[in-house]
Structure 1
């Protein structure tokens, strides 16, 4: 459906911020017209987004809906933005993991909505276990039996986004450290991150030409005990968190429907203020 396509496009970081800060509202206006009709024109932007999200909850639980549920119910519900970090769409071993939460351990959440196929699931999970020790597949009730059949590893957790939009643990994830690979973990790191690790561990960096530098850094990293290496990598990845202590109160004011869009946007205080002004206004109002 066209309305579903519009929602997929609207509930992305780039599209949302283009609307809030640049007034690029074509997708937003079309979504309101198609889904909310005339009522949307007289409502605040906050009310419209809540109504669009409610429509998604009933009729189109897309990937954003799943990720936002994980952010609200696990990162914010069980943990805290002060102690935990969420990372999305992280490239790893020829795959891209959907959602990662780091809180002492790294827990991957692989999303399989009712709209997704399962043919790549086993390969995806195998790649995630090369860097992280906990993995859970998050799926719809209609997919549950198929996921159970597809996943024969007892270490892999299964979680269901129920019809009531709660997260139910069907099978708890169990730690798996048998498949960790130094090279896979190393490739997750930015240059500054692996240099920090090597400096802390060896007190210096390789003195080789640029052609050999990356390969030599990897060789040094491979000399670190693999469980310790994993913890060092998690420490660096955790520092990528967008919401620090100074921003937490501002982030707390963001509506739950929009948490994921804002979490991954690295807002300044002025950005948060602008967002609140945008949400309180109606379509067409100058913010």
Structure 2
């Protein structure tokens, strides 16, 4: 299947949070049905195909080198790094982690804090230098993962302590240049402004810094004043330990392993109630023919 631009748009939107939330909240998704038609996926699905098969087929089409979008890269990182090298018990993944006026595509916390900035075939490199310098203030390791059309330029325009990865046409991740682990360079103020107040308080307490009982109206300023005095290496260690607890994904493990690989990234970054999990699993087991009746 060689999709046109409108079909490509429909294929990408199949993996949107809107579709996944509908599946969880209602056990069906009228948006899924409409997008399947717009993408002409019915033409290539077997008569016995399930909704899970349709998602797998959609991702396979998007994985074609010239069509790849951000979700394809997140799927590769999820499968090869988070669930391949690590596990949900030992590591945590955060999607679109805001740092200043940048939004980090994927952050994985294990023994250290690693950020992955995605530059797919559809992306521009215009903001890359600024993004990399911003991420260095919060994460000890910075990687850029790029497609064939960008990888050489990315390697040339980024500092040597920034890692570069390449997503091959077969959707395997290769390391072009390793990232240096530099927790000592992180900026305590940048970390403080990127995390929740409750997380900042916990980090301070873990480091033996007393936090006075003050009104919420002045708490931010008090925490900020104490945070800027922290040693970067100590802060990094406690930031990783704290965020792994507060952003823990282990409760999603059962759901993730019951879904097709194509939907695992969505399961990890789309927030939903535990009661919705079973509805998602049942929905993706539905036949595509039956799903086309969803309204």
- Quick check: TM above 0.5? yes
Query: Deviation at 1:198?
Result: 2.6
Q: Give the one of 226, 251, 276 matched to 1:220.
A: 226
User: Which whole-Å deviations, capped at 9, do the CAs of 1:155-211 have from their partners, x for residues lacking one?
Assistant: 111100001110011111112345321100111221211122233334642344544
Q: Give the one of 278, 283, 287 matched to 2:283.
A: 278
- Give SS of 1:217's match: helix
- Give SS of 1:169's match: strand
After superposition, residues 27-46 of structure 1 pair within 5 angstroms as: 27-40=32-45, 42=47, 43-46=49-52
- Give SS of 2:207's match: helix
Work out whether residues 242 and 265 of structure 1, in 8 Å CA contact, stay in contact via their aligned partners in 2.
no
CA distance in 1, matches of 2:240, 2:34: 41
- Give SS of 1:141's match: coil
- Give SS of 2:84's match: coil
CA distance in 2, matches of 1:267, 1:27: 18
Cα distance change of structure 1 residues 202 and 243 upon mapping to structure 2, 3 Å threshold: closer
Query: What residue ranges of structure 2 are gaps of 5+ in the alignment?
Result: none
Between Structure 1 and Structure 2, how many residues are aligned?
Answer: 285
Cα distance change of structure 1 residues 195 and 26 upon mapping to structure 2, 3 Å threshold: same
When the two chains are superposed, the root-mean-square deviation of aligned CA atoms in Å is 2.3
- Give SS of 2:142's match: strand
Match of 1:92 in 2: 99
- Normalised TM-score (structure 2): 0.88
Work out whether residues 109 and 138 of structure 1, in 8 Å CA contact, stay in contact via their aligned partners in 2.
yes
Larger deviation, residues 1-10 vs 134-143: 1-10
Q: Give the one of 160, 166, 173 matched to 1:154.
A: 160
- Give SS of 2:280's match: helix
Match of 1:118 in 2: 125
Query: Deviation at 1:26?
Result: 2.9
CA distance in 1, matches of 2:252, 2:168: 32
User: Which whole-Å deviations, capped at 9, do the CAs of 1:81-105 have from their partners, x for residues lacking one?
Assistant: 0000000101102111110000010
CA distance in 1, matches of 2:111, 2:155: 28
Q: Give the one of 99, 108, 129 matched to 1:101.
A: 108
Work out whether residues 139 and 161 of structure 1, in 8 Å CA contact, stay in contact via their aligned partners in 2.
yes
CA distance in 2, matches of 1:27, 1:217: 45
Match of 1:57 in 2: 63
Work out whether residues 144 and 162 of structure 2, in 8 Å CA contact, stay in contact via their aligned partners in 1.
yes
After superposition, residues 1-287 of structure 1 pair within 5 angstroms as: 1-22=5-26, 23-40=28-45, 42=47, 43-58=49-64, 60-151=67-158, 153-177=159-183, 179-202=185-208, 204-244=210-250, 247-266=252-271, 270-283=275-288, 284=290
